[in-house]
A and B are shown apart, each in its own frame.
Chain A
């Protein structure tokens, strides 16, 4: 409830006689619009010919399946993305890997791009950074079937976008080590220091990443 003494009622400013004719103020407005009519730059982006500048690194557009440095599909068919996907749009058929450095690989890898909600959960879930969302947003097809992207199509997307958006972890060689290892090592060391400083006697959080010993730096594939 508003108290009466809180109500501030102000008088509208008195309009001058010339302004009451409307014409002077209309003339002012016309001047403004005339300026926009002929002399102001146009804001429109002429879409198919021009495109807005966007951050290609974090846009969640159509997916791609990354290749490892040898040009093979990087996916290890772990089903993490398929499990994480809230829209159930990823379908993987796993098979035994023909290569020695991993056990499985995807025989089929289909993403229904019409069903996908582009949430990026698959990208988060992937342990080997094999599936990524790209900056391509204008993907079209003539039928629903055409919009189910299979493994080859997803790899093609990688080939066409890798120059603009390189794979997150280009240094990957073996699958024991993924992600930006150096950053995690630094973080782990700092955490260890902090826990030791704050709790030098017991140090219960000593082994933040202690169970998995870091693998050698440059392990080549067989």
Chain B
């Protein structure tokens, strides 16, 4: 009883609650993924499995069968995964094959603990952090855990003893290595702006004073971090680890039933944690509107209702970013691998270094928290990169020497 009234007890309860919310969100983001896939392609998406199927069936005949927009689909999907045959091919490295999905899922599910979900809450005079754990290196923890996600992919790909799986794993590794650099550099901008690596303090610095979110100090860093998030979670347009056209299923080719489902859940859990991370770092976490103080959403509001409202706002932002993930997935085609590498090494890394330079200069001049300095700095980075790109030559293939000379004919639309 006493334990429940310490931060440890509160954290344990919060961990369970958030875990439940995240798992529920995972199930329903798969549902919405399929819905959005359908809508983008002018279909309806899953709309047959009613949520309480019985209610739909018990309605009088004249109302027709009501399917509850297919909200029962995640349950049906889960049942399917449980009931399918779980095949372990004879040629795999069995221990690693079994460990890989577990590593994937565990790593994806422990990342959320350092996210500050709702400021502080006072229950019977006791003040608790609405955060499962509050280590000094919260930001480094989430980076470390996030990059551990590739372990599951690599182990799974390697253990499958299958060329395609290994290709997928190797691609995932190279991609992760390349995209962690701009990601880290973009996050450095936040760290320099806030002077903190504790997520809770980063959050607090965004709601202090004028409520200026980090998004407004460094929009370019925000966009870079956002893009690298897509790469970190292996989502389109960076899902080369599992591209069907080239690699069958990629790293999970040999996996079936629940083990495949664990990879699947891990991907979405990873996405949700990433979205929460992005929201906390750049978009003011639980703060609903920038530049404005709203009564329920001040740091000194510590009621339970305020906590719930703050959590709702943060989860709303997570939902928005999840929607963006899906919207982008059904819009943008997958990069080729050399394009992927080019985007990282020739695009994102120089740009992020530019923004970092702006942040460092701001810190040196004591202007790191002034919009009139950092915003023009970011614009300057964009302009410089545009100028460099306009000067850059087109990428040349190795076959260039063996090709016939260019035909410059006006009727083909090519200027002579």
Query: Are A and B physically bound partners?
Result: yes
Contact residues of A with B, CB < 8 Å? 4, 7-14, 16-18, 20-23, 26, 29-30, 32-34, 36-38, 40-44, 46, 49
Q: Number of A-B pairs whose CB atoms are under 8 Å? A: 72
Contact residues of B between 383 and 413, Cβ < 8 Å to A: 385-387, 389-390, 392, 394, 403-409, 412-413
5 intermolecular pairs with C-beta atoms under 8 Å apart: A10-B406, A12-B394, A17-B389, A18-B386, A44-B44
Q: Which of B27-73 contact A (CB under 8 A)?
A: 36, 39-44, 64
Q: Mark out the residues of chain B between 220 and 259 whose CB falls within 8 Å of any chain A CB in the assembled complex.
A: 223
- The verdict on B331 contacting chain A, using a C-beta distance below 8 Å, is yes
A34 contact from B327, B408, B412, Cβ within 8 A: B327
B residues near A49, Cβ cutoff 8 Å: 64
Report the minimal beta-carbon distance from A179 to chain B, rounded to whole angstroms: 44
Q: Is the CB of A42 within 8 A of B385?
A: no
Residues of the A chain whose Cβ atoms lie less than 8 Å from the Cβ of B408: 11
Partner of A42, one of B44, B64, B386: B44
When the two chains form their complex, are residues A9 and B404 in contact, meaning their CB atoms are under 8 A apart?
yes
Assess whether B412 is in contact with A8, with CB atoms less than 8 Å apart: yes
Task: Check if B343 is an interface residue, CB within 8 A of chain A.
Answer: yes
Q: Which residue of B39, B405, B412 contacts A38 across the interface (Cβ within 8 Å)? A: B39
Number of residues in B with C-beta < 8 Å to the partner?
Answer: 32
Given A10-B406, A33-B40, A36-B42, CB of A21 within 8 Å of CB of B327: no
A36: min CB distance to chain B, Å:
5
CB-CB under 8 A from A16, the residues of chain B are: 390
For residue A26, which residues in chain B have a CB less than 8 angstroms away from its CB? 328, 331-332
Distance between A37 CB and nearest chain B CB, rounded to angstroms: 5
B264 surroundings in chain A (CB, below 8 A): none
Given contacts A22-B343, A23-B223, contact A30 B386 (CB under 8 A): no
Assembly CA distance A148 to B328 (angstroms) = 52
State the majority secondary structure of interface residues on A.
Answer: loop
B414 within 8 A of A: yes
B345 CB within 8 Å of chain A: no
Question: Considering only CB atoms, which chain A residue lies closest to B339 in the complex?
Answer: A22
Q: Check if B128 is an interface residue, CB within 8 A of chain A.
A: no
Query: Which of A14, A30, A38 interacts with B328 by CB under 8 Å?
Result: A30
Pair B394/A36 contact, Cβ less than 8 Å: no
Q: A9-B406, A36-B41, A44-B43 are in contact. List 19 more A-B contacts (CB 8 A).
A: A7-B407, A9-B404, A10-B407, A10-B412, A10-B413, A16-B390, A17-B386, A17-B387, A18-B386, A22-B343, A29-B332, A30-B328, A33-B327, A33-B331, A36-B39, A36-B40, A37-B327, A42-B39, A43-B42
B330 within 8 A of A: yes
Nearest chain A CB to B354 CB, angstrom units: 13
User: How distant is B221 from chain A, measured CB to nearest CB, in Å?
Assistant: 14
| Contact, CB under 8 Å: A43 / B43 | yes
Closest to A8 in B: B407
Asked if B331 contacts A32 (CB within 8 A), the reply is: yes
Please state if B406 and A11 are interface contacts (CB–CB under 8 Å): yes
Interface residues of B in 371-389 (CB under 8 A from A): 385-387, 389
CB proximity of A55 to chain B, nearest CB, Å: 25
Instruction: Tell me how far the C-beta of B325 lies from the nearest C-beta in chain A, rounded to whole angstroms.
Output: 12
Contact of B331 among A10, A12, A30 (CB under 8 A): A30
- The residue that A20 contacts in the complex, of B40, B327, B328, B389, with Cβ under 8 A, is B389
Point out the residues of chain B lying under 8 angstroms from A14, CB to CB: 394
Q: Which 9 A-B pairs have the closest CB atoms?
A: A17-B390, A17-B389, A33-B331, A20-B389, A43-B42, A29-B331, A17-B386, A8-B407, A37-B39
**Chain A hits for B414, CB < 8 A:** 10-11
Residue in A8, A37, A38, A40 whose Cβ sees the most chain B Cβ within 10 Å:
A37
Q: In angstroms, how far is the closest chain A Cβ from the Cβ of B413?
A: 8
A17 / chain B contacts, CB cutoff of 8 Å: 386-387, 389-390
Q: How far is the CA of A102 from the CA of B40 in the complex (A)?
A: 62
Q: Report B-chain residues with C-beta under 8 Å of the C-beta of A44.
A: 42-44
Give the complex CA separation of A49 and B327 in angstroms. Answer: 30
